[in-house]
Homo-oligomer: A and B are copies of this chain.
Amino acid sequence: VELTVRYAKGQKVETRKRIIEVAARRFREHGIAATGIATVMADAELTNGAFYGHFESKEHLVRETVQAEMAAQVAAWRLTLRSGGLEFALRTYLSTLHRDMHGTGCTSAPLLAEIGRQPTATRSAYAAQLEESIDLFADYLPARDAAIKRSTAVAIIALLAGTLQMARVIPDEAVSAEILENGVQAALKLARARR
């Protein structure tokens, strides 16, 4: 069996990546159910037919997008935590800037509930990346016991997602900003507790 490369090496892989990126943006902005294949493909500057050369179905695209974007988010968190520490990372996440950055921000917060309605494979992909996030956060917590670090990290992540979602709902700018700042304080409170 011979393996020939007729197209620029990795071209198809790059197209696939581009589809995932534009899909992620649409998903975050409008939700998974409200996002159509045709609009995603148009965003990627392709026609709808090309989709099925890259993915078996919409379900598969969702799975791969959740997987890839959550991994990217963990990497981003790692960078922010390393460069600025916990409070800086929390403040970056719960900033009005991030709140208003629907398409390019966090994947978890806007899609968490909807991921809960996806097939097990997609939810497992999320769960795996969540474990990465938990381990990462745990490294920046002052507690001694590993189990306490873990449970605190879980609580902080849940709090962050809930707070960002809530701030995005509230139309009153002052109240919304208050909710964000409040989330930072509560997360720090949880982080500081040793047991």
Contacts and interface: CB of A to CB of B under 8 A. Distances in A.
Given A155-B182, A158-B159, A160-B162, A127 B31 contact: no
Contact of A33 (B31, B151, B154, B171): B31
Contact of A172 (B111, B115, B127): B127
Given A31-B31, A155-B182, A168 B110 contact: no
A113 B179 contact: no
Q: How many copies does the complex hold?
A: 2
Given A154-B179, A155-B183, 16 more contacts: A31-B114, A31-B117, A34-B117, A112-B113, A116-B169, A124-B171, A126-B169, A127-B170, A130-B166, A130-B170, A151-B186, A157-B162, A159-B162, A161-B162, A161-B165, A186-B190
Interface of A: 30-31, 33-34, 109-117, 120, 123-124, 126-127, 130, 151-152, 154-155, 157-163, 165-166, 168-172, 175, 178-179, 182-183, 185-186, 189-190, 193
Q: Which secondary structure characterizes the binding site on chain A?
A: helix
A170 B154 CA distance: 12
Contacts of A163: 155, 158, 162
A109 B158 CA distance: 12
Contacts of A116: 110, 165, 168-169
A165 B112 CA distance: 6
A170 B175 CA distance: 31
A27 B31 CA distance: 14
A166 B171 contact: no
A72 to B, nearest CB: 18
A127 B190 contact: no
Nearest to A110: B113
A74 B169 CA distance: 18
30 contacts: A31-B114, A31-B117, A33-B34, A112-B162, A112-B165, A113-B114, A113-B168, A114-B114, A116-B165, A126-B169, A127-B169, A127-B172, A127-B175, A130-B166, A130-B169, A130-B170, A151-B182, A151-B185, A151-B186, A152-B186, A154-B178, A154-B179, A155-B163, A158-B163, A160-B162, A161-B162, A161-B165, A162-B165, A186-B190, A189-B193
